[in-house]
Structure 1
C-alpha cells in the first residue's frame, strides 16, 4: 500500500491497469485494454466505495485519487462526476428505492456505489448512452462485486433506464 503524506488512508501499490487482469470473460475479450473513461469509472467506483465506508471529506478523496492515479485516465470525467454523485446521494437513494427489492442499508457497499454511479449517469449524463451506462456498471460489478451481483446491478439499472431514458429507448425501438 502507498501512503500519501497529508492524506488519510492508503491506496493499492498499482494504479488502474491498462488491461483488465481480473476479466472473467473468455477468448479475445480477456485482457482487453481499458479506455480512459473505463479507467475513470474504476477510479470512481473505488472513490465512492471509500467515501461510503470512511465518509472522508470529498475533497480529500478527490485529491488522493488525482495525486495517485496518473496516466491516461479521463480525469475531467472523474473530477466532475465524483463530487456530483456525492452531492446527489440523497436524491439518488430516493430515486433508487422503487427499483430495489431491499432496503438501501442492506446493499453491499460496492453494489450501492455502482448503483449510485449508474443512476447518476442515467439521470444527469445524457451524453452517455444508457446501454453504455448499464454495460459499464455490469462489467465493474463482475470484477469488484459479489458473485452474481452484476445480475442485480443489471436489473435495477435496466428498470431505471426504462423510466429515465424512455425517449432514448424509444429511438432504438426498445420500448
Structure 2
C-alpha cells in the first residue's frame, strides 16, 4: 500500500508534467488534481507544497541541478526533469525528509512514470545533488568526516 506522501508525489509529478508541457497555472492544475482519482489518499499539504514550490522556484531549482547533469536540463525527458525538480525542492525546502528517502522516492516515481532506464539517470544525478545540497547529512551517513 502506498503512503500518503508517495501518492502526493505521484500527483505532483502528474501536475508538474502538465505544467511543464502546457504552462498552465498552478491553481488550474491543482483544481484538476483535486478532481482526479487518488486525491483523497494523498498528503494534501505535501502535494500543495511540492506543486506550488516547484513552479515558483523552478529557475533556482534548475540552476542547482544543472551542474550535476551531462546535458542541458531542457534536453531531459519531461518526466526526468519533473522528478529532479521535485527532489531538488525536497532537498532544499524539506530538510526533515532524509536525503535517502528523497532519492528513493524520486527513483520509484521515475520507475513508475519514466522511460525504461530513466530511474538510473535520476539516481545518479540525485546522488551528486545530495552531496551538494545536503553535504553534512550525506557525509554523516557515509561515515566521512564533516568538512
User: Structure 1-normalised TM-score?
Assistant: 0.78
Are residue 125 (structure 1) and residue 90 (structure 2) matched? no
* Mapping for residues 129-144 of structure 1, pairs under 5 Å: 129-144=98-113
Give how far 1:67 is off: 2.9
Give how far 1:80 is off: 1.7
Distance in 2, Cα, partners of 1:75 & 1:116: 19
Give how far 1:171 is off: 2.4
**Which is helix-richer, 1 or 2?**
2
User: Match of 1:60?
Assistant: 28
* Mapping for residues 1-175 of structure 1, pairs under 5 Å: 33-68=1-36, 69-175=38-144
- Aligned Cα root-mean-square deviation (Å): 1.1
| Runs of 4+ with >4 A deviation | none
Give the match's secondary structure for 2:97. coil
Distance in 1, Cα, partners of 2:143 & 2:21: 37
Q: Which runs of 5+ in 1 are unaligned?
A: 1-32
Give how far 1:70 is off: 3.5
User: Structure 2-normalised TM-score?
Assistant: 0.92
Give the match's secondary structure for 2:71. coil
Q: Which has the larger radius of gyration?
A: 1
Distance in 2, Cα, partners of 1:75 & 1:88: 19
Query: RCO (CA 8 Å, sep 6+): is it higher in 1 or 2?
Result: 2
Distance in 1, Cα, partners of 2:86 & 2:71: 18
Q: 1:110-158: per-residue Cα shift (whole Å, max 9, x none)?
A: 0000010011111111011000000000011111111110010000011
